[in-house]
Structure 1
Amino acid sequence: MRSLPLAKDTRHRVSVGLGLILLLSATCFIYLQGLNASTFYDDRRNLSALETLDTLEEAWRFVTEGGAGPLGRPLAQLSFLIHANQPRMDAASDARFVNILIHLANGVLLYVLGAMLLRLRGQDEARSDWIALGAAALWSFMPLLASTTLILIQRQTSLATLFGLIGLTVFVYGYFIQSQRPKQALLIQGLGLGIGTLLAILAKENGALFPVYALVIDAVLLPNLSAPSPLRRLRRGTLSLGLAALLVYLLTLNQDWSSVDPLRGWSVFERLQTEVVLLWQYLYLAFFPQPTAFSPFYDDLTVIRGWWAPTLSALGFLALTLIAVLIRRRTPWPLFALTWFFTGHLLESTVILLELMFEHRNYLAVYGLCLALSALAWQAPGRYARLGPALFGVYTLLMALILYGTTSIWGQPLVAAESWVKRHPNSQRAVAYLAEIYHAGFGDDISSALPRIDRAAHACSDCTDAKLQILLYACGHTGEDDIRQRLDDLMQSATTAQALFQLFYNLDSLQKLAAVNACPPITPEDVYRLTLRLLDNPHYTTWLYHVHTLFHAAYFAKEIGDLEAAYAHLAKAESLSPTTLPILQMQLHLLLKEHRYSDALAAIERRRPLKRDRIMTDAVLDELADEVRKDQAGFETSSRHNDNP
């Protein structure tokens, strides 16, 4: 008996299901090539506590006191607890595998979201599914997004996207029932988007953008769906209020757009000028990628202070947007792609004084472009109707091959380090990372790798911190003449070095080695003189860096017994930042050492009238005062015993 043929819709669903499984399998296989990638600066700063979490109290602090953002990102921090108390490399691989799973889940959600949007726009089920699957594939294979998955801490970005996409998918589902049950539809949309946005914000603050993404969908893709007018007005008005609230926040965040930020070294206006140019660079990297073009390191970028490039870039986007608006009735896809992209960059690529460039900022921002390209490819007219999807498929496969090359490079730390230094020769982080990888690989035989590391460092015009790190690796492995020459080079470059906080950590390490004569001929006095050179550096005269430099100068002066100089540095540090607790603590340490109790209490009392942060509280000052009085009582008791044997 012959078997009945499968129904057409069943065959279609099986085909799409197999396509989705193939997409997920290929994406997983490609990303597994990068499973053994290194950990990077933000990974260590935010996740190092995982190695020593022993109690529930420590775990709770890890979750609730994250320092990566103003809200602490507790849901992202919570997700890392499953990797606690593992060896570092095992934890890194496991955490990266979880990141891969989250990326796959986001790909599925984007397929579902895209298919729903296309059906709401009148496409039949089969066409909607294939267009949505193509868009999800292009997004999943985009090399620009690789760092979001391969850098551990960027789980904050992908997890926020996961929660937000779930909420956005529920929001779009509401459109399907709004004509029959408008009130229920609005309730479902509000609850779905609201809860999804809240969870996304608790993973990363840019989860606040999801109501704006919903507004783009409502106003650009689905403006004419059948629904009661009051419902449409209420929904769009509420979403518009969300956009307005974000704009008000951004516009009032910095009152003076022309003043130079002491930490970054540039103004809000200069950042805006630069970001409008970088948006074009993101688009180029997204759609014309090379395997070696992607890196965790962009600290070599400088702000654009001229006006030609920013003006032309802004005019380019303005022209594209105007054209997209004019043709929106014929096809809304160009306008959707642009507004979605701009939405994704609204927080991180405008006036908030973050670092200039990171690839993960495009994680969801580029999806609108992917969906638009896929839709336009499938809507090619006449004789191009089959050519469009075919070319799109070939392009997507090419993206997959380039992504494979990218993840393969990331999965080989030494190859990656060499590639990134070549791509970013003036990046302090790239040069320091190269030195670190060589040190990890060569260990006690680091001297044989030093010539290669030195070539990279010398090619970097302003890599003082990296050169200091290389000096630390050279200690004990090269001759004293070589060590002295490296120190002399550092002394010369210290007055012009770019400001970087990592330099202070490396100075601390050098001082500890010098204190036990583990890096001859360098002495603690040399480390102190090197720090004094930083005080003459204009890049270290901005408030935050100057305070740190003075604090370290005071500490190093104390270590060599020059208390007068230590007091002088601390006095200057106090005048700049009187409510910084470590400054007060070092003052008290020195004063108690000399039994100057009245001066110690006076130092505490000077802080009481000031507006203080949540660290230097009244309770903390009271505790410090009690310790001073306790030390004083003990000293006086001991003195009386010595006077009356």
Structure 2
Amino acid sequence: MFAVALLGTVLAYWIGLHGPYVLDDINNLTPIAEWLHGDNTWQHVVLSNGAGMFGRSLSMATLMLSAWVAGFTPFAFKLGNLFTHLLCGFAGWQLLRHAIARDPHLRRHADIAAALLAALWLLHPLNLSTVLYAVQRMAQMSALFTLAALWAYFLSRTALQQGHTRRAACGLFVLFPMFLLAGLLSKENAAVAPALCLVFELAYFRQPRNEHQPAVAKRILAFFYGGFLLVPTILAAAVFALRPNRFFGGYAVRDFTLPERLLSEGRAVMDYVGALLLPRGRAMGVFNDDFAVSTGLMSPPSTAIAVFALVAISALAIALRKRAPSVFAGWFFFLVAHSIESSVLPLELYFEHRNYLPAFGLLLAVAGMAEFLTRRIEPGAMPRWKLGVLAAGGYALALGVATHARAFVWADEGRFLLQEAVHHPGSVRANTALAYYEIRQGNVILARAAIDGLLQSPNPRVRELAYLHRVLSDCVVSGDATANDLHQAIALARPKVTLDEMYVFADLASINDQRACNGASPAMLADTIVAMLAVAHSQPDGILPKWKLRNTAAQLYAAAGDWNLAMAQAELAWQPTADAPVGAFLVRTYARNGMREKAERTFDEVARRVNRNDFKDRNGLIELRQFLDRAAADQTD
């Protein structure tokens, strides 16, 4: 049965492997293209990519392997993702087999139940936005090694219960940490693995009161949970307390606070539950920047409903821990697996790929609840388990059809973007991505309609970005923008600038390098940036969007020939957190304004910040030194 599910998964996904890159794929994968062309080192790609807390080096290495084997194409990366998806399905199948085998009410049919649940997971359309989103290899690899670590835990814990202490210790203190480390080097989500072990421990390995656990087993478990759960938790809490800005500084660029995020995530998690149990096209998508922020329990009212539902389901799962252990195990697996990306960290509110690992838990909980609710039903002509197999098999078939239909949409950029914009009419990303696609196709009227639709949004941030994108689209199409759109954007400027403003102004600066744009000259764009940053005066200057925007304004002023204003903005951009190219431009402004001493001093600072593994940084430093030497020679002459 599982082999059939694997084949069905390949057939369902295959048409989508030829689809386009998605969202931030290009930004994350460009270093790999540079490596393939000899313009960068593998060390820079793998060890200096800057992704996440631990660098995600293992995931980047597998992405490099995909490009090396099959070329730098979307197909190469997505084929690798599909293969990883099948491996995750296999690891999940084995984990579920061992979990269900410990449920006294399900163990008789553990093999077939686990195969069916793994099939449902493999064929679920919600997972498609992980598999066909190239850089989500990181989420996949993290899930794969987390599942492997949990599988090792089950084998070791069972061996410990049977008295095989040496085998158990080997699994718990060699295999488990090896898989955990591999998971952490793929993506930080793997850090939940020890807590997931505790969930399984509480669900399936509790000792009966009349039985006593051997002292050696108690010591092994104490060392395991102390070393892998308690100590890391204490250390993490200490780091949170001593260096809160490292974890919470990201809220400076978000349109929500920590309490608002926690309230919003309650709605998001319950929305994930609905999408997993009853997937609907309108409820799915990768452009979720239109997900509403919860500003209070009753704003929107669904916040209170979601919080109540989470508490009620959790209380029910706890109450059923002994009578239906798989309900407890599955539900808390789902919650704990969401605990990193759906709790306090200042990440975006909603993404489907966050369910890639947690979905295994929810499916297990549903299976446990189905068995519990039908336990007292008298068997008819067909045993209950056979009815369950038929129902699950039919549902798996329906999911496979839905996944294939979604893969068909993802196979074509136009279909994909149109569906995303239709399903997410309030999404700036979906509508602007559709607009620029339509511009490339020559459909200027449709492009303008997609952007103008955003001007009806009640959200001032959305309207501000719509005006900026209207300027950008006009510059791209005709080179003739409306200056009033820049004035409207300034009027709507928010107390915080975000990555969205950073990206659109970077694109506007790039267009101005290529062609003149009436109504949006370099000086006008720079003035707009400065005016918007003045509104965000209380926002820390060291955050990424702010110093990036300052640097863009400096370059625009330089393009307009005003090197004094360029220098003023470049100085503000040269923050301790800024990268070397920002300082390099400041050096040029100093040299252009005859400030040789400041130029040399800043050059030394730039040299200290250069990434030595990055060809571009090294070559840029050499070129900057040559520029300074030429400038000095010119002054001497």
TM range, smaller chain: 0.7 to 0.9
Please say if residues 494 and 530 of structure 1, whose CA atoms lie closer than 8 Å, have aligned partners that are also in contact: yes
Letter in 2 for 1:169: W
Q: Aligned pair 1:222/2:212, yes or no?
A: no
Distance in 2 of aligned mates of 1:129 and 1:476? 58
Partner of 2:447: 450
Change (3 A) 1:633 1:519: closer
- 3-state secondary structure, aligned to 2:339: coil
Deviations 1:217-271 (A, max 9, x none): 1221222398634314532552255333454455445447999921224332322
Moved more, 271-280 or 19-28: 271-280
Please say if residues 377 and 389 of structure 1, whose CA atoms lie closer than 8 Å, have aligned partners that are also in contact: no
Change (3 A) 1:614 1:302: farther
Partner of 1:595: 594
Q: How big is the shift at 1:365?
A: 0.9
Distance in 1 of aligned mates of 2:43 and 2:250? 37
Please say if residues 491 and 533 of structure 1, whose CA atoms lie closer than 8 Å, have aligned partners that are also in contact: no
Deviations 1:117-156 (A, max 9, x none): 2334457876111111121122222222221111100011
Q: Aligned pair 1:341/2:334, yes or no?
A: yes
Partner of 2:378: 383
- 3-state secondary structure, aligned to 1:34: helix
Letter in 1 for 2:590: L
Partner of 2:284: 294
Moved more, 515-524 or 106-115: 515-524
- 3-state secondary structure, aligned to 1:231: helix
Partner of 1:15: none
- 3-state secondary structure, aligned to 1:590: helix
Distance in 2 of aligned mates of 1:405 and 1:35? 13
Change (3 A) 1:613 1:319: farther
Partner of 2:353: 360
Please say if residues 163 and 200 of structure 1, whose CA atoms lie closer than 8 Å, have aligned partners that are also in contact: yes
Distance in 2 of aligned mates of 1:602 and 1:27? 59
Please say if residues 540 and 549 of structure 1, whose CA atoms lie closer than 8 Å, have aligned partners that are also in contact: no
Spell out the pairing of 1:145-156 with structure 2 (5 A cutoff): 145-156=127-138
Distance in 2 of aligned mates of 1:463 and 1:93? 36
Partner of 2:271: 281
Partner of 1:374: 367
Distance in 1 of aligned mates of 2:595 and 2:452? 52
Please say if residues 447 and 474 of structure 1, whose CA atoms lie closer than 8 Å, have aligned partners that are also in contact: no
Q: Aligned pair 1:171/2:153, yes or no?
A: yes
Q: How big is the shift at 1:531?
A: 2.6
Change (3 A) 1:290 1:554: same
Distance in 2 of aligned mates of 1:224 and 1:104? 35
Change (3 A) 1:560 1:74: same
CA RMSD of aligned residues (A): 3.6
Spell out the pairing of 1:321-336 with structure 2 (5 A cutoff): 321-336=314-329
Distance in 1 of aligned mates of 2:403 and 2:454? 29
Q: How big is the shift at 1:69?
A: 1.0
Q: Aligned pair 1:42/2:24, yes or no?
A: yes
Change (3 A) 1:426 1:86: farther
Partner of 1:585: 584
Q: How big is the shift at 1:495?
A: 3.7
Q: How big is the shift at 1:81?
A: 1.3
Matched residue count? 606
Please say if residues 515 and 524 of structure 1, whose CA atoms lie closer than 8 Å, have aligned partners that are also in contact: no
Distance in 2 of aligned mates of 1:56 and 1:586? 22
Q: Aligned pair 1:197/2:194, yes or no?
A: no
Q: Aligned pair 1:303/2:310, yes or no?
A: no
Distance in 2 of aligned mates of 1:453 and 1:55? 40
Letter in 2 for 1:29: L
Partner of 1:11: none
Distance in 1 of aligned mates of 2:249 and 2:155? 46
Change (3 A) 1:453 1:261: closer
Q: Which has the higher contact order (CA 8 A, sep 6+)?
A: 2
Deviations 1:309-360 (A, max 9, x none): 5555444323332332223222212211221012101211112211111111
Distance in 2 of aligned mates of 1:424 and 1:300? 7
Query: Based on CA coordinates, which of the two structures has the bigger radius of gyration?
Result: 1
Letter in 1 for 2:63: F
- 3-state secondary structure, aligned to 1:261: helix
Spell out the pairing of 1:74-89 with structure 2 (5 A cutoff): 74-84=57-67
Change (3 A) 1:270 1:42: same
Name structure 2 gaps, 5 residues minimum. Answer: none
Change (3 A) 1:399 1:229: farther
Distance in 1 of aligned mates of 2:238 and 2:305? 27
2:485 to 483, 489, 492: 489
Change (3 A) 1:87 1:111: closer
Q: How big is the shift at 1:470?
A: 5.5
Name structure 1 gaps, 5 residues minimum. Answer: 1-18, 640-645
Distance in 1 of aligned mates of 2:294 and 2:537? 18
1:529 to 527, 551, 554: 527
Change (3 A) 1:93 1:568: same
- 3-state secondary structure, aligned to 1:38: coil
Please say if residues 467 and 489 of structure 2, whose CA atoms lie closer than 8 Å, have aligned partners that are also in contact: no
Identity of aligned residues (%): 22
Q: Aligned pair 1:234/2:220, yes or no?
A: yes
1:99 to 81, 92, 98: 81
Q: Aligned pair 1:272/2:262, yes or no?
A: yes
Please say if residues 435 and 448 of structure 2, whose CA atoms lie closer than 8 Å, have aligned partners that are also in contact: no
Q: How big is the shift at 1:377?
A: 3.7
Please say if residues 436 and 447 of structure 2, whose CA atoms lie closer than 8 Å, have aligned partners that are also in contact: no
Please say if residues 327 and 369 of structure 2, whose CA atoms lie closer than 8 Å, have aligned partners that are also in contact: no
Please say if residues 260 and 266 of structure 1, whose CA atoms lie closer than 8 Å, have aligned partners that are also in contact: no
Please say if residues 494 and 534 of structure 1, whose CA atoms lie closer than 8 Å, have aligned partners that are also in contact: yes
Change (3 A) 1:33 1:240: farther
- 3-state secondary structure, aligned to 1:295: coil
Deviations 1:185-222 (A, max 9, x none): 22223322111111111111111221222221122122
Distance in 2 of aligned mates of 1:418 and 1:476? 21
Change (3 A) 1:531 1:260: closer
Change (3 A) 1:234 1:492: same
Please say if residues 131 and 378 of structure 1, whose CA atoms lie closer than 8 Å, have aligned partners that are also in contact: no
Distance in 1 of aligned mates of 2:393 and 2:217? 40
Change (3 A) 1:501 1:476: closer
Distance in 2 of aligned mates of 1:476 and 1:419? 24
Change (3 A) 1:539 1:408: farther
Spell out the pairing of 1:244-283 with structure 2 (5 A cutoff): 244-248=230-234, 251-252=237-238, 254-255=240-241, 261-283=251-273
- 3-state secondary structure, aligned to 1:199: helix
Partner of 1:243: 229
Change (3 A) 1:456 1:38: farther
Partner of 1:109: 91
Change (3 A) 1:537 1:401: farther
Please say if residues 17 and 132 of structure 2, whose CA atoms lie closer than 8 Å, have aligned partners that are also in contact: yes
Distance in 2 of aligned mates of 1:495 and 1:581? 33
Q: How big is the shift at 1:524?
A: 2.8
Deviations 1:273-322 (A, max 9, x none): 22122211111111121123211112223432213455554443233323
Deviations 1:469-520 (A, max 9, x none): 5544544644x7xx333x4324312442563435444434434544564444
Q: How big is the shift at 1:58?
A: 1.7
Distance in 2 of aligned mates of 1:141 and 1:45? 29
Distance in 2 of aligned mates of 1:218 and 1:377? 22
Partner of 2:139: 157
Please say if residues 70 and 76 of structure 2, whose CA atoms lie closer than 8 Å, have aligned partners that are also in contact: no
Please say if residues 463 and 497 of structure 1, whose CA atoms lie closer than 8 Å, have aligned partners that are also in contact: no
- 3-state secondary structure, aligned to 1:416: helix
Moved more, 311-320 or 534-543: 534-543
Letter in 2 for 1:569: Q
Letter in 1 for 2:568: A
Q: Aligned pair 1:568/2:561, yes or no?
A: no
- 3-state secondary structure, aligned to 1:561: coil
Distance in 2 of aligned mates of 1:35 and 1:345? 28
Change (3 A) 1:458 1:175: same
Moved more, 307-316 or 344-353: 307-316
Letter in 1 for 2:367: S
